[in-house]
Structure 1
Amino acid sequence: MDASTPVSVVLPTTGWNDACEQVADQLRPDDELLVVCDEHRESVADCAEARDGVRSIVAGEPEGCSGKANAIAAGMEAAAAERIVWTDDDFFHPPDWLEGLRTDYDRRGPTSELPVFVGRDPLAAALEPSHAISGTLAVFLANVPWGGSLVFERADLDDEQRFLDELRRTVSDDGLLSEHVEFTTVERTRRVAIGGSTRETLENQARFVKIVRYHDPTGTAVQGVLAAALTVACALFPLPMLALTTLWTAAIYAAFGIRRWTFLAAYPVALAAIPLLAYGLARRTFVWGGRRYRWDGTFDVAVEPA
């Protein structure tokens, strides 16, 4: 297939917003945008009806999975095209975003962009160095897909129906996808705001840790060993490690075009690496998108209102 191949864009959201407008403006005549909500929302349905190629999809309440995974599954089942794009509504989609993913697929096959997480509260901002390393650098080096901006085709899945069934039994959509499709991650970033309050940032920390735990247990073990070594080094050699961690993080920021002062928090974040990992592993539940999840295994999820 080539860049003229029709694309179905699956966009889970809670309402019509700027991201919906931005993606709708980039559709070609044979493309479609599926705006997926948990329940019928008249404003979304009206806006979708007014735009060519846009459809409103009702996913229903999730049972035994996250709202995001449930929405992605519903969107893929409703999608008409062979080529699928997943995206989120929490970042700016420039006018060439969809064309970029088309070209990426034709050159590389399944392709993902990269997130840069920007904190909206003091704790989330302080943790930005950790996200730059684990959520941007590590994702890039390991070719891990990010569900906020990726493209693949149905034929890339080893078993599409099994994948959709598993989506409705887990929390992390992109974590599961990484087990079914091999991706290439390109060095193109999207700025995603996270947090908003200390509580929300702690909930995100628990969720991020559990995603790695259940979809990459080896990575969790490696992360633990490295975090322990880093914490000990920072405690024993504070001044050299202050300089080293700050310069190392500044280099990562520069490599990915992150223009934020928060690289200066690299040393205290390194000192807190083990407590942060332990906190995420110890939490029995976490809140995400207005729901509380108990995630006791890759396909063992209980969900209730927050």
Structure 2
Amino acid sequence: MASVILPTNRWTDAAESVIKDLRDSDELLIVCDSSTAPVADEAPNQATVVIAGEPTGCSGKAHALATGMEHATDDIIVWTDDDVHREAGWIETLTSKVQTHDAATEVPVYTGSGLWQLFEPALIIAGTSGTASGRYVWGGGVAFDRTKLDETAFLRDLRRTVGDDSLLSEYVDDIWAETDHCRHLEVDGSPEAVYHRLVRFGKTSWRFEPLQTSILLGMSLAFSAGALMFPIVGVIVATVLGGLAYWKLGITRASVLLSYPSLLLVPVFLILALVAPSFEWGGRTYKWSGKFDVQVVS
């Protein structure tokens, strides 16, 4: 048995795929903002709708996940998202691994068109590969045994931050990653959407791993300087790095050919995330000034 927590305000096709894979002993908790959210009326009978209310001092998703865990009846917790389409057996795959590991995570690959293609290779090289290595969990598809962590402290911290999965990664030690089947997620490639997503991703890195992110910034600046001085070498090195990362994860996308400009933009991405005053996510605007210093602006 597992308690599956799905934060959403609307019923989606992806949510329907979650319902279809529920086992007889599983429970599905749909966590929404208010009783007026469309999903409160649209959710099927197999799901239990939980009203989280408005977040204060954390992201809406973090607040929803914390509320869902407080209502969950099983020790095995599964987090999922309303935009992730599921195939049969995904719950069993993750929960079975929790028997021998602290957590089991899927590996996300963010793909898209437009401006996003320029950043896709760098995020696969630096971000997706980190999850695939078992260093981090992904909040859109993860299972864990809450008896193996300090749940009281975890829920307290969850209601003080934006990075729900980064926080969970700190609370679990042994992470199994499903590298045989990366989860491809299509993202909006418009300039505005890319800006807000990059700022959110980058701020998560700065808030949770400031030292490592500073080192990454220094290394990326050095690489960019060298790659601009010796562009042919830069193109070869970047493309090889991208090709290896894509190959290891089983990704076949032409965006790998953009590895050179993508890696050149890493310093821009990191500096932008550091200085940007706010970002939008899920219909809300946040100011994230510290790991546990979050203001919901609107």
Given the alignment of the two structures, is residue 39 of structure 1 paired with residue 31 of structure 2, yes or no? no
Q: Which runs of 5+ in 1 are unaligned?
A: 1-5
2:152 to 138, 155, 161: 161
Matched, 1:128 2:120: yes
Q: 1:173 maps to which residue?
A: 164
Worse-matched range after superposition: 75-84 or 159-168: 159-168
Asked whether 1:140 is paired with 2:132, we answer: yes
Letter in structure 2 aligned against 1:32:
E
Deviation, structure 1 residue 47: 4.1
Q: In structure 2, what is the equivalent of residue 23 of structure 1?
A: 18
Check conservation: 1:45, 1:55, Cα contact below 8 A. no
* Shift in CA distance, 77/279, structure 1 to aligned 2, threshold 3 Å: same
Equivalent position amino acid for 2:293 in 1: D
Contact persistence 2:10–2:42 (CA under 8 A): no
CA–CA distance in 2 between the matches of 1:42 and 1:133?
Answer: 38
Q: Using the alignment, how far apart are the partners of 2:177 and 2:219 within structure 1?
A: 23
CA distance in 2 between partners of 1:110 and 1:10 (Å): 15
Given the two structures, how large is their TM-score scaled by the length of structure 1? 0.92
Superposed displacement of residue 152, structure 1: 0.6
- Asked if structure 1 preserves the Cα contact closer than 8 Å seen for 2:106 and 2:183, the reply is yes
Instruction: Name the SS of the counterpart of 1:266 in structure 2.
Output: helix
Provide Cα deviations, 1:135-172, integer angstroms capped at 9, x if missing partner: 21122235201101111111111x21121121111111
Distance 2:197 2:288 in 1: 14
Distance 1:42 1:216, change over 3 A: closer
List per-residue Cα deviations over 1:215-241 (Å, max 9, x = no partner). 112221221122112111211110121
Instruction: Name 1:269's counterpart in structure 2.
Output: 262
Looking at structure 2, the residues matched to 41 and 192 of structure 1 have their Cα atoms a distance apart, in angstroms, of 28
Contact 1:36 1:59 survives alignment (8 Å): yes
Aligned to 2:193: 200
Whether the 8 Å CA contact 2:8–2:32 is kept in 1: the answer is yes
**Partners of 2:204 and 2:148 in 1: CA distance:** 22
Match of 1:218 in 2: 211
The alignment of Structure 1 onto Structure 2 pairs a total of residues equal to 296
- The equivalent of 1:12 in structure 2 is 7
Shift of 1:198: 0.6
Q: Is the CA contact 2:79–2:140 (under 8 Å) kept in the aligned structure 1? A: yes
Inter-partner Cα distance in structure 2 for 1:74 and 1:101:
22
Q: Which amino acid aligns with 1:51?
A: N
Aligned-partner Cα distance in 2 for 1:98–1:141? 21
Alpha-carbon contact 1:45-1:56 (below 8 Å) kept: yes
Letter in structure 1 aligned against 2:49: S
Show CA shifts across 1:239-271 (max 9, x none).
121122113212211221212111111111122
Q: Distance in 2 between matches of 1:46 and 1:277?
A: 41
Letter matched to residue 127 of structure 1: F
Structure 2 residue aligned with 1:299: 292
Give 1:41 shift.
Answer: 4.4
Gaps of 5+ in 2: none
Provide the residue aligned with 1:76 in structure 2.
69
When residues 280 and 42 of structure 1 are mapped into structure 2, their CA distance, relative to the original with a 3 A threshold, is closer
- When the two chains are superposed, the root-mean-square deviation of aligned CA atoms in Å is 1.6
Question: Tell me, what secondary structure is at the counterpart of 2:55?
Answer: coil
Residues 24 and 51, structure 1, Cα contact 8 Å, conserved in 2: no
Aligned to 2:83: 90
Give the ranges of 4+ consecutive aligned residues of structure 1 lying more than 3 Å apart after TM superposition: 45-48
Length-normalised TM-score, structure 2? 0.94
Q: 1:69 to 1:283 in 2, by over 3 A?
A: same
